[in-house]
Amino acid sequence: MRIGQGYDVHRFGEGDHLVLGGVKIPYHQGFVAHSDGDVLIHALCDALLGAAALGDIGRHFPDSDDSYKDIDSRKLLRRVRDLLSREGWEMGNADLTIVAQAPRMRAHIPAMVANLCCDLKCETAQVNIKATTTEGLGFAGRGEGIACYATVLIRSR
Ligand code: MG
């Protein structure tokens, strides 16, 4: 068994929705990002790659490469899953935390879990997503962006 952790932040900019865990959430801002800005999936990818000692998302999918411009991050997650699978790893569980003052995440979490489980080919019980505010403190509290933390266990098949 191996453990990995991931962290990612995206800044708010112009837009009318956010994409988190592959779920489109209406909001009065969007993410400034090379991809779709799915900060939750990026943190998860980094945790998985970290657990397998395969580097990080920036190494595998550099933002200098135009083929990743505006890419659906779920495609990246499926590629990360395939990378780990080729190395003989499968995910045990993932525990994810979204740090956001707004919007409210609760109603969207079941759909996020369903998307991630679909891409990771795992059971619902293997993925947990939590959301917290920071009580108005820091960049998340000021509504400047969203941070996500991911912790995963992987095991050899
Ligand atoms: Mg990112």
Are 130 and 98 in contact by the 8 Å Cβ rule? The answer is yes
Distance CA 140, CA 135 (A): 9
At 145, which helix (H) or strand (E)? Answer: strand 145-156
Q: What is the pLDDT of residue 34?
A: 84
Q: What is the pLDDT of residue 134?
A: 97
Give 51 Cα–ligand 1 centroid separation in angstroms.
Answer: 18
pLDDT tens track for 115-130:
999 999 999 999 999 9
Give 125 Cα–ligand 1 centroid separation in angstroms.
Answer: 25
Is the pTM higher than 0.95? The answer reads yes
Give 85 Cα–ligand 1 centroid separation in angstroms.
Answer: 22
Give percent helix, percent strand, percent coil of the chain, each to the nearest 5. Answer: 35, 35, 30
pLDDT tens track for 55-113:
999 999 988 888 888 889 999 999 999 999 999 999 999 999 999 999 999 999 999 99
pLDDT tens track for 5-46:
999 999 999 999 999 999 999 999 999 988 889 999 999 999
Give 33 Cα–ligand 1 centroid separation in angstroms.
Answer: 7
Distance CA 68, CA 70 (A): 6
The total number of residues shown for the chain amounts to 157
Q: What is the pLDDT of residue 67?
A: 84
Q: What is the pLDDT of residue 65?
A: 86
Q: How many CB atoms lie within 10 A of CB 19?
A: 23
Give 31 Cα–ligand 1 centroid separation in angstroms.
Answer: 10
Domains and CATH numbers, the chain: 2-156 (3.30.1330.50)
Give 157 Cα–ligand 1 centroid separation in angstroms.
Answer: 29
Q: Mean of the pLDDT values across residues 45-55?
A: 98
Give 131 Cα–ligand 1 centroid separation in angstroms.
Answer: 18
Distance CA 40, CA 9 (A): 9
